[in-house]
A and B are shown apart, each in its own frame.
Chain A
Amino acid sequence: MPEDKELILLIEDEPQMRRFLRITLQTQGYRLVEAATAQEGLMQATTRNPDIVLLDLGLPDMDGLEVTKRLREWAQTPIIVISAREQEQDKVKALDAGADDYLTKPFNAGELLARIRVALRHAARQITEQNEPVFTLRNLRVDLALRQVFVDDKEVHFTPIEYKLLMVLVRHAGKVITHSQLLKEVWGPAHVNEVQYLRVYMTQLRHKLENDPARPRFLINEPGIGYRLKYDPEG
């Protein structure tokens, strides 16, 4: 097991969950720091400088949303929120506050590891600032330099807004992006509440990109939260 794999900070109060995650993550070779409370977690985050944070929203001493906000005050470390709560609002708040992705309990190990990989990849790209000129995902190819989109090697024409929308999704490929984040990036901060804009353009985008828009392979709708460009280069 290579010793230089990323350091993961796990903030979770339930011992059973910690045990499961410890085994799963260590098997994959990740190094792990555990914290049972938010206070302890925040302290570990400052002293150990982890590469990624797994944060449970239901901590006994502090709201997970608050922890996200405090972490974001000084660090850009990717945060994946783990939540048992069914309330979508909590997740949306955490995501809007700066969390990178979320998982709803119960989840399976494969899902967790995929999310961790996506988050780490995004973090790495941010650090090196490298932008690949061409984004490829199965039969979808986006030439970022030429602003051209190909599906099955056939060029598809986009309106400026559609293209902008796709660009935001590509930039965050694999991560969930909330409605308000998308609206802010594409239409500007004044339009964060006009979800129906987004819905219409997402439908158009889907019809242009997907073979069967009712069973999408790229543009995944996460009801009540946002959208995700399904990104599975390994699979």
Chain B
Amino acid sequence: MEERRPDPDQLLQRARDEDERKREGQLKIFFGAAPGVGKTYAMLEAARQKKRQGVEIVVGLVETHGRKETEALLEGLEIIPRRNVEYRGTALKEFDLDMALRRTPPIILVDELAHTNAPGSRHKKRWQDIYELLGAGISVYTTVNVQHLESLNDVVAQITQISVRETIPDFLLERADEIELIDLPPDDLLQRMKEGKVYLPEQAAAAIKNFFRKGNLIALRELALRRTADRVDEQMQDYRQDKGISDIWPAGERIMVCIGSNPRSIRLIHAARRLAAVLRTEWIAVHVEAPSQVHPSEQDLRQLADHMRLAESLGAEAVTLSGQKMSEEIITYARSRNVSKIIIGKPTHARWKDKLFGSPLDEIVRGSGDIDVYVISGDIAEPHAHAGSSSRPRSWRKREFAWSIFTVAGCTGIARIMFPYFERLDVAMIYLLGVVLISSRTSKWPALFTTIMSVAAFDFFFVPPFYTFAVSDARYFITFLVMFLVSFVISRLTLRVRQQAEAARFRERRTAALYSMSRELVRERSTERLSEIAIRHMSEIFGSQVAMLVADEGGRLVQTGKGDAVFTLDQQELSVAQWVFEHRQAAGLGTDTLPGAKAIYLPLVASSGAVGVAGVLPKNVGDGFEPEQFHYLEAFANQTAIAIERSFLGAAAQRALLKAETESLRNTLLSSISHDLRTPLAAITGAATTLLENDAAIDTVGRLDLLQTVREEADHLNRIIKNVLDMTRLESGAIQVNKEWQALEEVIGAAVNRLGDRLNDHPLTVKLPGNLPLIPFDSLLMEQVLVNLFDNAIKYTPTGTPLELSASESFYTVTVELADRGPGIPSGEEEHIFDKFVRGRGTGGGVGLGLAICRTIIAAHGGKIWVENRAGGGAVFRFTLSTAGLPPAQQKEEEEITGL
């Protein structure tokens, strides 16, 4: 058979998972069918074995229940002392997670994975503690019984009639690197029990006795064996996948389970998870938000959210759909996601409902086509309709009833006026109008009330004998019935349309808020501003105070954003935020982790990892967040995280760009100046060696000549280095433009002074108007501009040609120009010569930075510099400086004659 190549994506994912695993600790689970099979014993044995191999082993927590053999095994092992927890007057001893984390042993033993921690502990469940240990790179040995597995929980309850409350999510079993099944035949276990070797808590002795019936034990053993076999099978599948032996499942096939708020949904979820595990497919838990569920009770919402979370924790993708018709939504979605099997609950409602309104189950089955539909005992995901407006205030409802009475009275009035001219049935239409009106404004009960009232009023006022409820003709009963039914159906339909619109509006509002926040976030770049935007939106929508903590470069959380909507974190809250940041898991108020915190903290996780933490503090201290709000909070946090990450990436890109530019400048500089530096150096070296070696042979004139060369070339070198340094510093922004109001002549004087003898060969005339104002500029930089321009002129114009420096002012702009009588600038080069590393022709010159420096400095002053050819030959360099603004006030001194 042809060997298949493994899917590279899957292999990559596996490699990534394994990488992640390597950094995390290894999890070994000692798995048993029932208490007393010897899990703890086996675990300790294994630990001792490891210890003999020289591995450091620490006991985090082991329950010996006073069994001698077990206690004996503990001897010689390091034990972490337990933490004392005081709860309602009882002293509890709990596993000390912090101590274990500080101790950081390679392997730690923590018994009873399914244990629930005492209130006030960091995590609700011990498995969460263990998860944290694994995350810290500590390997864990632990024990668990089959009845604690979430997905088998209901099966165990069915078999044993005892429902186990302490459960662990199934993914832990999948996370385990090793599972050791501790198997003991039921007869041996019962024997051990008789011998008193099995620990039984006293208070539940009767129930436990029931549990340890042989039938139960056999069933549990079978479950444990099967679960382990499943697990082995999974490993086998993984192996096959690695080796590319065969395809594993049809690509993209999925199982879908329909759930609702009904508690029976839990069984559906477990069933789906088992099926998915066996078939090794992905699975989706779907809930359809039907219009009549627009106002579900709070309890329903919470239950539904719990179910969705349960499904998620069991590895499902939880999806909420909304639509008019549940069956259609389910089928459409199932097809879009390539679902091959739908699991749905058996209906529990009365049959007539199906006859009257149609059966969703029937519709799904009919519409399913090639999708298999499994109907399992449990509730169909039917909306668990509660009294629609139960959450509304009572006074509101009173007003609604008042409105319906008023409307019926109004309809009666209009009908009375119309009655003499119209048929009786036309009059009935007026009442229908009233029903529509009320249905579109109020809720279910007032609408029904209006319907009944309308029929009654019609009877009373318009059906003979008038002004009695008595009816002369029995045929009118048919009229009443039809009128009632029509009204009723109209009111139901109107209500439904309205509620759907309301639901859409409600979602839209949240979505709009989210959208408007993300739109604002897009425009900002700084983390500070991003945090402020997120804080403003989140505090508005959730009516809470918000804290944004963003990780700095060192990975420390720093609070950003200020204002009324921000709360400050104390040390304890900060540690919660830190935990959230490190574990990328929500914690705090209303969650399973650190529920004692005042606020809820959500990690800001983006593609590159956690970038920070958002804390939300409800207005009324201690108020939790509803599951739905929590989901929205998560959405807001995600948006913020992405925006903050973007700002981080932007800053990093900016730095990289700057670095690249500096790098390229440096490279150009190096290649460019290496040649230019070598020329004067060669001259200096040459002159110096000649002087050293042939001292006696050289006459005085020759010696002076050589020394003059050394000096000039050294000057030349110095100028090159200064230009290179200036350019680098200007470009890197290391030089600040320090503008001060000052006279131009002063800086001209300084420049001329600095050039000294070098100007001797070029007669210079300086023409400045007497009324030239003070100009704001940086004297050092301006001196550099002038020196460079002079340098340039000296370098490129023939000896003896004159230079003219002049300035003029108009419209708050001073133009300074330096004119020469040199060869001028070749046409087309006027712009180019101000670029970096551009040198004039002929002369040895410098690095080609002088004019580039001038342009950079002038640009930094807000002016411009350019060159033109002069009439009569030569070039003229001009630059402008703005004099806009007010020079500092100068007190005028009275003119006073010096002398006595």
Contacts and interface: CB of A to CB of B under 8 A. Distances in A.
Contacts of B531: none
Interface stretch (B137-145, B739-747, B855-863): B739-747
Given A203-B745, A213-B745, A214-B749, A223 B898 contact: no
Interface stretch (A45-53, A128-136, A146-154): A146-154
A159 B780 contact: no
Contacts of A215: 748-749, 752, 764, 766
B729 to A, nearest CB: 8
Interface string A155-192: 10111111100000000000000000000000000000
Contact of B893 (A106, A161, A194): A161
B750 A214 contact: no
Contact of B750 (A159, A197, A199, A223): A223
Nearest to A86: B725
B75 interface: no
B894 A159 contact: yes
B741 A196 contact: yes
A223 B899 contact: no
B740 A196 contact: yes
Contacts of B748: 214-215
Contact of B890 (A88, A157, A197): A197
B898 A147 contact: yes
B507 to A, nearest CB: 62
A60 interface: no
B780 A88 contact: yes
B898 A221 contact: no
Interface in A55-72: none
B746 A199 contact: yes
Contacts of B783: 223
A212 interface: yes
A214 B768 contact: yes
Contacts of B893: 159-161
Contacts of B746: 199, 202-203, 206, 221
A128 B898 CA distance: 29
Interface string A207-225: 0000011111000111110
Contact of A203 (B743, B753, B887): B743
A61 B431 CA distance: 102
Contacts of B779: 221, 223-224
A220 B711 CA distance: 25
A195 interface: yes
Among B722, B748, B749, B753, find the residue whose CB has the most chain A CB atoms closer than 10 A.
B749
B888 interface: yes
Interface in B732-778: 740-743, 745-750, 752-753, 764, 766, 768, 774
A159 B718 contact: no
B888 A196 contact: yes
A200 interface: yes
Given A106-B718, A200-B890, A148 B899 contact: yes
Contacts of B768: 214
Contacts of A158: 898
A202 B740 CA distance: 15
B12 interface: no
B338 to A, nearest CB: 70
Given A196-B887, A214-B768, A223 B747 contact: yes
Contacts of A197: 890
A160 B898 CA distance: 7
Nearest to B783: A223
Given A196-B741, A215-B752, A147 B747 contact: no
Nearest to A195: B740
A159 B899 CA distance: 10
A224 B780 contact: yes
A216 B749 contact: yes
Contacts of B711: 108
Given A148-B898, A158-B898, A161-B893, A199 B741 contact: yes
A220 B754 CA distance: 10
B747 A221 contact: yes
Interface string A108-135: 1000000000000000000000000000
Contacts of B895: 159
B417 interface: no
Given A196-B887, A220-B753, A157 B897 contact: yes
A148 to B, nearest CB: 5
B437 interface: no
Among A146, A149, A158, A200, find the residue whose CB has the most chain B CB atoms closer than 10 A.
A200
Contacts of B887: 196
A214 B898 contact: no
A85 to B, nearest CB: 11
Given A199-B774, A222-B750, A223-B779, A160 B896 contact: yes
B714 interface: yes
B900 interface: yes
A157 B745 CA distance: 22
B210 to A, nearest CB: 87
Nearest to A230: B753
Contact of A223 (B725, B743, B780, B900): B780
A92 to B, nearest CB: 12
Contacts of A148: 898-899
A159 B894 CA distance: 8
B816 to A, nearest CB: 12
A155 B898 CA distance: 10
A231 to B, nearest CB: 14
Contacts of A149: 898
A146 B899 contact: yes
A62 to B, nearest CB: 24
A212 B900 CA distance: 29
A129 to B, nearest CB: 24
A19 to B, nearest CB: 14
B532 to A, nearest CB: 37
Contacts of A214: 745, 748-749, 752, 766, 768, 805
A149 B897 CA distance: 11
B896 A196 contact: no
A171 B202 CA distance: 106
Contacts of B782: 223
Contacts of B753: 216, 220-221
Contacts of B750: 220-223
Contacts of B898: 147-149, 157-160, 162-163
B479 to A, nearest CB: 100
Nearest to B897: A157
Nearest to B738: A224
Nearest to B898: A158
A213 to B, nearest CB: 5
> Lowest 6 CB-CB distances: which A-B pairs, in order?
A214-B766, A223-B779, A158-B898, A221-B750, A224-B780, A214-B745
28 contacts: A86-B725, A147-B898, A147-B899, A148-B899, A149-B898, A159-B898, A160-B893, A160-B898, A196-B887, A196-B890, A199-B741, A199-B746, A199-B774, A203-B745, A206-B749, A213-B745, A213-B749, A214-B748, A214-B752, A216-B753, A220-B749, A221-B746, A221-B750, A222-B750, A223-B747, A223-B780, A223-B782, A224-B779
Interface of B: 711, 714, 718, 722, 725, 740-743, 745-750, 752-753, 764, 766, 768, 774, 779-780, 782-783, 805, 887-888, 890, 893-900
Interface of A: 86, 88, 106, 108, 146-149, 155, 157-163, 194-197, 199-200, 202-203, 206, 212-216, 220-224
Given A146-B900, A159-B894, A202-B746, 14 more contacts: A106-B714, A106-B718, A147-B899, A148-B898, A158-B898, A159-B895, A160-B893, A160-B896, A196-B888, A203-B746, A220-B753, A223-B750, A223-B779, A224-B780
